[in-house]
Chain A
Amino acid sequence: MNWHRTFTVARTDVKQLVLAKDFWMPMGILGSIFFVVVPLVLLLSIASLGDNPAVQNVAETLEVLPPQAQEQIQGDTPQGRTSYALAVFLFAPMAVVVPLTISTAVGAASLVGERERGTGEFLAHSPASTSEIYLGKLMASLVPGYFTTMVGFTAYSLIVNLIVGPEVGGWFFPTQQWWLLMLWVLPGFLLIGLSLVLRLSGKVKSTAAAQQASGLITLPLIAISYAQASGALYGTTTTTVMIGAIAWSIGITSTWRGMRGVKRQRLLGVADGV
């Protein structure tokens, strides 16, 4: 395994994505909708409504949350408690949806895209091993989604602290659970998704087929990640660490299998059982 070649593949792929305005523009829009527009609208609405009956009703429903989660909720007024709960618990799954959507879109096109553009011929004749190519492509697919999420997360943190912070006694976000979610749980789920999508990308005939097939993988994965991300936030730190560890171990196993499963011949434009 030559790490220099792996990073070279990853870096070159990322560079191509950066140069593709038609790629990063929608990516930026998606990230800003989930991390800026929707939270801003919701949190500002609650702030402007004040302590009216609707907000009080929502505050009452917070009692259905697990005791650990209820203990975390800060704020003295129903408005403050509602805003806190929305900021900390409701938007958590968005942190999973955005990177998975972006990264799987990139990953689905990665190997089959080389083949479609004819550049797979260059890679196939290069000294890079299929494992290095696979891993390089996986890294390159992971970067845009994770980067967008981290930028979005930073913006989200600012919004939450500026709007909800005064209600609950100062800046409070990100909480410890959120740090764990973003830095530990989320990359694990991304790895599972991408390792599967890249394996698909190395097997199908076209990018369109890869996108379709990757949807079949990512949708259930998003549902699982959504549930687990929520669980990670509602539960204890140990639960969150455990969820992340399980995701990482599945992701690493799947990546390992993917590295060994890609065939050099698949990079070429030949119809060998494809």
Chain B
Amino acid sequence: MSLHTPAVALHGVFKSFNDKPALCDLTVVAPQGTITVLLGPNGAGKTTAIRCITGAMSPDSGSIRALGFDPNTDGEAVRRDCGVVSAKPALYDRLSGWDNLVYAAELHGVNKANIAARVMASAERFGIEHALDEQVGGYSTGMKTRLALARSVLHEPRLLLFDEPTSGLDPESAQAVLGLIREMTADGHTVVMCTHHLVEAEGLADHIVVLEAGTDLVAGAPAELVRQYWPEDSVLIAVEHDPASVAPFKDLAELPGVRRIEPTSEGGRGPEARVVLDHPAVTPDVVARLIATGCRIRKIVPHEPSLEELYFAVRRSTRDLSEGEAAAAHTESDREKVTR
């Protein structure tokens, strides 16, 4: 597999269960050595996508390549080089942590002489080595997740697939797990992670795919997507309430480099607005003008949309689009009725 070939590529994948579509023309591309986050609500098709990538499930149609192989025909080759952590850790409760790891190592064909060292190394990496002799049934949720993560890497796979890896974890454990996932890409692993927690994806994702109803709505690097949805630079400004000033931002509109002003809300402490600029360099001029007009600036921040804003903007625009299409179809059908 060449360096430029994506680690995972799904194109036009369809999958349905009892005539209910789970994946509907899904396209996902995960570049090598990056963290690709599949973002979407429950039932968006994230887990089904992961299952199709390893060949655990066959799609109804469409093409899938993982690590250069077709999982439907070369599933074993894909799965040998994959580490998977499911939403539920899928561990054997009656066995000890050690036995769970050894079982995985043996199934993945780790050399018998290396098994003990590999098991110990991966357990140490995820801080679970002290509990390896205990039965997994007695582990806490956090320990189980750590053990599942250790199990996913002990055969040194090139591709890691994590399905909601922090589900059920407290914030501290979740942060630790996300930190460990970040570390893994530094080692050259490719990570595909599913989540519906936007905060988790923030700062972790190199590449995002927003899913809804089994379809990819948008995909790309977070910065690119932000630029796509908010192509203009802007700053958020909040000023203190001044009874003498009816429209504190009015004067800004005349300032060169200011495109427009969008009032956002009237907070209890004073008005706020989003000021759209030609370039961020105009910001000092805006500040100077506000001060010159006697405004007391409470807050001024460059508008850097969070992943959450991006996610909702994507879903809003998709909904608007489909509502528009529905309305157009409705108008068309009305027109047909009139013609008849």
Residues of chain A whose beta carbon lies under 8 Å from any beta carbon of chain B: 4-5, 8-9, 12, 15-16, 19-20, 117-122, 124-129, 264-265, 267-268, 270-273
In the complex where A121-B88, A125-B79, A127-B79 touch, is A271 in contact with B18 (Cβ < 8 A)?
A: yes
In the complex where A5-B107, A19-B95, A126-B104 touch, is A265 in contact with B88 (Cβ < 8 A)?
A: no
A-B interface contact total, Cβ < 8 Å: 85
**Chain B residue contacts of A270, Cβ below 8 A:** 17, 57
In the assembled complex, the Cα of A8 lies from the Cα of B99 at a distance in Å of 11
Choose among B57, B95, B106 the residue that contacts A265 (Cβ–Cβ < 8 A): B57
Interchain Cβ contacts under 8 Å between A and B, 18 examples: A12-B92, A12-B99, A16-B92, A118-B86, A119-B91, A120-B90, A121-B88, A122-B84, A122-B91, A124-B54, A125-B79, A125-B84, A126-B104, A127-B107, A127-B109, A129-B76, A268-B56, A271-B18
B44-86 vs A: 1/0 string, CB under 8 Å?
0000000100111110000000000000000110011010101
Instruction: Report the minimal beta-carbon distance from A114 to chain B, rounded to whole angstroms.
Output: 9
A127-B79, A264-B55, A270-B57 given; 12 more Cβ-contact pairs under 8 Å: A8-B107, A12-B95, A12-B99, A15-B95, A118-B89, A119-B90, A121-B84, A122-B151, A264-B56, A264-B57, A264-B75, A268-B57
Q: Which of A8, A16, A127, A270 has the most CB of B within 10 A?
A: A127
In the assembled complex, the Cα of A150 lies from the Cα of B87 at a distance in Å of 43
**Chain A residue contacts of B90, Cβ below 8 A:** 118-122
Instruction: Report the minimal beta-carbon distance from B179 to chain A, rounded to whole angstroms.
Output: 24
User: Would you call B94 an interface residue if the criterion is a C-beta within 8 Å of the partner chain's C-beta atoms?
Assistant: yes
B86 lies within 8 A of A121 (CB): yes
User: Would you call B230 an interface residue if the criterion is a C-beta within 8 Å of the partner chain's C-beta atoms?
Assistant: no
In the assembled complex, the Cα of A265 lies from the Cα of B88 at a distance in Å of 17
**Chain A residue contacts of B57, Cβ below 8 A:** 124, 264-265, 268, 270
B86 lies within 8 A of A122 (CB): yes
Instruction: Report the minimal beta-carbon distance from B269 to chain A, rounded to whole angstroms.
Output: 51
A12 lies within 8 A of B103 (CB): yes
**Chain A residue contacts of B151, Cβ below 8 A:** 122
User: Would you call B260 an interface residue if the criterion is a C-beta within 8 Å of the partner chain's C-beta atoms?
Assistant: no
B109 lies within 8 A of A16 (CB): no
In the assembled complex, the Cα of A128 lies from the Cα of B55 at a distance in Å of 12
**Chain B residue contacts of A128, Cβ below 8 A:** 107
**Chain A residue contacts of B104, Cβ below 8 A:** 122, 126
User: Would you call B289 an interface residue if the criterion is a C-beta within 8 Å of the partner chain's C-beta atoms?
Assistant: no
**Chain B residue contacts of A122, Cβ below 8 A:** 84, 86, 90-91, 104, 151
In the assembled complex, the Cα of A20 lies from the Cα of B94 at a distance in Å of 8
B18 lies within 8 A of A125 (CB): no
Chain B: which residue is nearest A133 at the CB level? B107
User: Would you call B182 an interface residue if the criterion is a C-beta within 8 Å of the partner chain's C-beta atoms?
Assistant: no
A265 lies within 8 A of B18 (CB): no
Chain A: which residue is nearest B77 at the CB level? A127
B106 lies within 8 A of A4 (CB): yes
Instruction: Report the minimal beta-carbon distance from A274 to chain B, rounded to whole angstroms.
Output: 9
**Chain B residue contacts of A127, Cβ below 8 A:** 76, 79-80, 107-109
In the complex where A126-B104, A272-B17 touch, is A16 in contact with B94 (Cβ < 8 A)?
A: yes
Q: Which of B55, B92, B104 has the most CB of A within 10 A?
A: B92
B88 lies within 8 A of A118 (CB): yes
Chain A: which residue is nearest B55 at the CB level? A264
Q: Which of A125, A126, A268 has the most CB of B within 10 A?
A: A125
Instruction: Report the minimal beta-carbon distance from B59 to chain A, rounded to whole angstroms.
Output: 11
Instruction: Report the minimal beta-carbon distance from B225 to chain A, rounded to whole angstroms.
Output: 30
A5 lies within 8 A of B79 (CB): no
Chain B: which residue is nearest A272 at the CB level? B17
In the assembled complex, the Cα of A126 lies from the Cα of B56 at a distance in Å of 9
A265 lies within 8 A of B56 (CB): yes
In the assembled complex, the Cα of A15 lies from the Cα of B18 at a distance in Å of 37
**Chain A residue contacts of B108, Cβ below 8 A:** 126-127
In the complex where A4-B106, A127-B107, A270-B17 touch, is A15 in contact with B56 (Cβ < 8 A)?
A: no
Chain A: which residue is nearest B91 at the CB level? A119
**Chain B residue contacts of A120, Cβ below 8 A:** 90
In the assembled complex, the Cα of A264 lies from the Cα of B95 at a distance in Å of 23
In the assembled complex, the Cα of A271 lies from the Cα of B19 at a distance in Å of 11
Instruction: Report the minimal beta-carbon distance from A43 to chain B, rounded to whole angstroms.
Output: 39
Instruction: Report the minimal beta-carbon distance from B323 to chain A, rounded to whole angstroms.
Output: 31
Chain A: which residue is nearest B76 at the CB level? A127
Instruction: Report the minimal beta-carbon distance from B294 to chain A, rounded to whole angstroms.
Output: 64
Chain B: which residue is nearest A128 at the CB level? B107
Q: Which of B84, B95, B107, B109 has the most CB of A within 10 A?
A: B107
**Chain A residue contacts of B99, Cβ below 8 A:** 12, 15
